[in-house]
A and B are shown apart, each in its own frame.
Chain A
Amino acid sequence: MSTAERIAPSYLEEGFSLRSWLGTRDHKRIAILYALGITFFFFLGGLAAALIRLELVTPAGDVLSAETYNKVFTFHGVVMVWFFLIPSIPATLGNFLLPLMIGARDMAFPRLNLFSWYLYIVGGLFTIACLLLGGVDTGWTFYTPFSTMFSNSNVMLAVVGVFVVGFSSIFTGLNFIVTIHTMRAPGMTWFRLPLFVWSMYAVALVMMLATPVLAMTLALIALERLFGVGIFDPALGGDPLLFQHFFWFYSHPAVYIMVLPAMGVVSELITAGVRRRIFGYKFMVWAIVGIAVVGFLVWGHHMFVSGQSMYAGIIFSILSFIIAVPSAIKVFNWTATLYKGDISFTAPLLYALGFVGLFMLGGLTGLFLAATALDVSLTDTYFVVAHFHYIMVGGSVMAYLGGIHYWWPKITGRLYSEAWARFAAILMFFGFNLTFFPQYVLGWEGMPRRYHEYLPQYQVLNVLSSAGATILAVSYLLPLGYLLWSLRHGARAGANPWNAQGLEWTTPSPPTLHNFEETPQVTGGPYAYEQP
C-alpha cells in the first residue's frame, strides 16, 4: 500500500482560508461546497414538510390558510426537487468520486465545475428571495395558465431561480460526460467502470438533454408573464397542454436524474457490504442505459387526465410499463448479489437494503399509476404523493445517506459511530414507512392532494403519517449530529476501512490534491471480491 502512505498534504489541508475554498478548482472541495448547500436546502425543504404535516393533523384548515398552505407545499417541492434531490448525489458524491473512481486527477473542466456551484447558489438565493417576499403558489409544476395569467405570487423569482439552477445541472452533466469519455486511467475500459460511474454517465446524459427544455419552457413562462402574451395563452389559441408536454419532457426524466445515481450508489454499497461481485454486471449497465433512454419517452403518463389523446395515453402507458423491466432487473440483481454473500449489517448496507425495499414498493405502485384506467381515479390523490415519495425519499435519500456514510471515511478521514448510524438507518426506515404508507391508503380511499383540509374520516391515517414524519425528522437530524461529531472525535480512518474494492480506496483518506501519486494502471473489472 505504498500509495496510501501520507506523502503530500490531504486536500483538506491544502489551504484553510475562505478564499481557498470559494476559489477552489478541486473537485473534492467543490463536492464539499455542494454538500453544505444541499444540506441547508434539505432542512429548509424539510421545515416546509413539517408545516404541511402539522396542518394535516386535524381535518380543519386551522394552522395555515389555504393560500399559505399552497405556498408551503410549492416551496417544499421546488426546494426539494431542484435544490436537494437533483444535485444531491451527482454534485456531491459524483463530484467527489468520479475522478477518483476512474483514476483521474480532476474533472475535465475544473473551472466550469466551480462555476456550476456558483450558479447553484445564485439560483438558491433567488428561491430564498422568492420565499422572503411572500412565496409562490403554483405548485412546483408551474402549470399554465395559472402561473402565467392568474397567480399573484412571486412566480418570476421562482422561475428565475429554477432557470439558473438548471444551468448548474447542464454544466455538471457536460463535465461528467467529458470526464468519463476522456479522463479514464489506462486500462479503465468502459466495462471495467464501477456501476456508480455508469449511473453518473447516464444521469449526466439526462441532465444535459432534458434540462435545456425546462430552461426554455420557464423562459417562455417568464416572457408570457412579462408581456401578457405567449404561446401558452388560451385567449390567442395557445395551448396550456403544450406547456405540460414541455414541462414533463424534462420533469419525468428528472425523476431518473434523482433515482439513477441512487441505483449507482446502492450497487457500490451492496457489493462492499456483502463482499461479492455484482450479479450480472452487464445487465446492470444496460439497465441503467435503458432506464435513461426509455425515461425520455414516458412523460405523457403525467397527463392521462389532462386531455391528451387516448392513443397517446395508451402508448405512454405501455412505455411506462416497459421501463419497469430494467428497474426490476436491477432489483433482482441486487438481491442475487446478496446470495451466499458475507453479509455484515453495517450502516451503509442497511441504507442500501432499505433503498431496495422502498424502491420496489414505490416502483410497483408506479405500475398502478401507469395503467390508464386505474390512473383516472388515482390522479391527484395521496396515492401519487406516496408513490413518488417512496422513490424520491425512500429511494434517493436513503441511497444518498448510505453513500455519505460509506464514503465518509474517504471524504473526511474519520470514522463515524457505527452504532448510532445503524440506529438512525433503522429508525429512518420505520419512520419513512409510517409517514408514507398511510398515504397510499388515503389516496386509494380518495383523499386529494394539495388541500389544507380534509374529510374527518381521513384523520386517523393522517395523524399516523404526521407521527411518522416526526420520527423521520429525528432520524434525519441524528446523522447531522454524529457525523459532525466524528469530524473532531471520530477515530482516524485508514485508506480502506471497509476493505473494499475500487480505485478510490487505493488513495489515502482524505485524498491528496491530485488524488493519485502516479496514474493507476487498471488490469481488471470492478468488484473483484473473492468469491466463496
Chain B
Amino acid sequence: MSVTVRHLREQFDDAVQQREASTLGMWAFLTTEILFFGVLFAGYAFCRVMFPEAFAAASRHTDMLLGTLETAALLTSSCAAALAVREVQLGGRRAATWLLLATAALGSAFLVMHGFEYVAEYHEGLIPGLRYTQHGPHAASMQLFFCLYYFITGFHGLHVSIGVGLLLAMAWRTHRGAFDQDYHTPLELTALYWHLVDIVWIFVYPLIYLIGRAL
C-alpha cells in the first residue's frame, strides 16, 4: 500500500485510476504510431502497384540474410521484454534486470546489423540522393523503393533507438528496486512500446526483403 501511495500523482484518486490512465495513454500513443507508419505503408503499397517489376528488382538488392537475423534478434528481444515484466510481477528483480539488459542488447544488435546493411548499400550505390549508381530499365523507379526503404527502416530504427534507451532506463530502475508486484506500470508500458516496434518490423521485413524476390 505504501508503495502505491508513494507513486500516486496528485491528479489521481487512487493507484487503479493512475494505472488505467497510463495504460490507456500508451495504447492511444501506439495508435498514433500505427498511423505514422501507415502513411509509409500506404505509399509503399501505391508505388508497388504502380511499378511491380522495379520493386521486385530493387528488393533483390537487399540483404536477406542480415534482414532475417535482424528479425530473429528483434523477436527474441520482445520475448525477453515480456519475460522481464513477468519476473517483476513475480518479484524476481535480479532476473528482470538481466532480461531487460538482454532486450536492450538485442535491440542494439539489430541496429548494428542494419548499420552494416546501410554501409554495404552505400558502396553498392543504392542510396538515392547520396550515391545512386544503378542503371538499367527500372533504375529510375527503383529509387522509389529505396526512398521508402530508407524512410521506413530509418523511422523504425529511430523507434528502436528510443526503445533501447527506455529499456536501459528501466533496467536501471529495476535494479534500484523501483518496481515490485504492486507497482511496475512504467516497465509494463515500455514493454508494450517495444512490442509495437517489433510488430511494425514484422510487417516491414516481408515488404522489404521477401516479396517478389524470386520473380
Contact = CB atoms under 8 A, between A and B. Distances in A.
B36 A216 contact: yes
Nearest to A111: B9
A174 interface: yes
A177 B26 CA distance: 11
B21 A178 contact: yes
Contacts of B148: 231
B24 A231 contact: no
Interface string B97-135: 000000000000000000000000000000011101000
**Mostly helix, strand, loop or mixed at chain A's interface?**
helix
Given A209-B31, A231-B47, A108 B140 contact: no
A178 B10 contact: no
Contacts of B129: 226-229
Interface stretch (A99-107, A380-388, A445-453): A99-107
B64 interface: no
Contacts of A215: 36
B47 A238 contact: yes
Contact of B28 (A105, A174, A213, A514): A174
Q: Is the interface of B mostly helix, strand, loop or mixed?
A: helix
A208 B27 CA distance: 12
Identify which of B25, B50, B130 gathers the most chain A CB atoms within 10 Å of its CB: B25
B49 to A, nearest CB: 11
A227 B141 CA distance: 16
A238 to B, nearest CB: 6
Interface residues of A, number: 41
Contacts of B20: 181-182
B203 interface: no
B181 interface: no
A177 to B, nearest CB: 5
Given A105-B11, A181-B24, A182-B20, A212 B141 contact: no
B29 A174 contact: yes
Contacts of B128: 227, 229
A227 B24 contact: no
A212 B25 contact: no
Interface in B1-29: 10-13, 17, 20-21, 24-25, 28-29
Interface in B132-155: 132, 140-141, 143-144, 147-148, 151
B147 A182 contact: no
Contacts of A235: 140
Contacts of A181: 20-21, 24
A285 B127 CA distance: 51
Interface in A206-221: 208-213, 215-217, 220
Interface of A: 104-110, 170, 174, 177-179, 181-183, 208-213, 215-217, 220, 223, 226-231, 235-239, 242, 246, 514, 519
Query: 3 closest pairs, A vs B, by CB?
Result: A227-B129, A216-B39, A212-B35
Given A177-B28, A209-B35, A246-B43, 20 more contacts: A104-B11, A105-B11, A109-B21, A110-B11, A182-B20, A183-B11, A210-B35, A212-B36, A212-B38, A220-B151, A226-B129, A227-B129, A229-B132, A229-B143, A229-B147, A236-B140, A237-B51, A237-B141, A239-B46, A239-B50
26 contacts: A105-B11, A108-B12, A108-B21, A110-B11, A170-B32, A174-B28, A178-B25, A181-B20, A208-B32, A209-B32, A211-B32, A220-B151, A223-B147, A229-B128, A229-B129, A230-B147, A231-B144, A231-B147, A236-B143, A237-B51, A237-B54, A239-B46, A239-B50, A242-B43, A246-B42, A246-B43
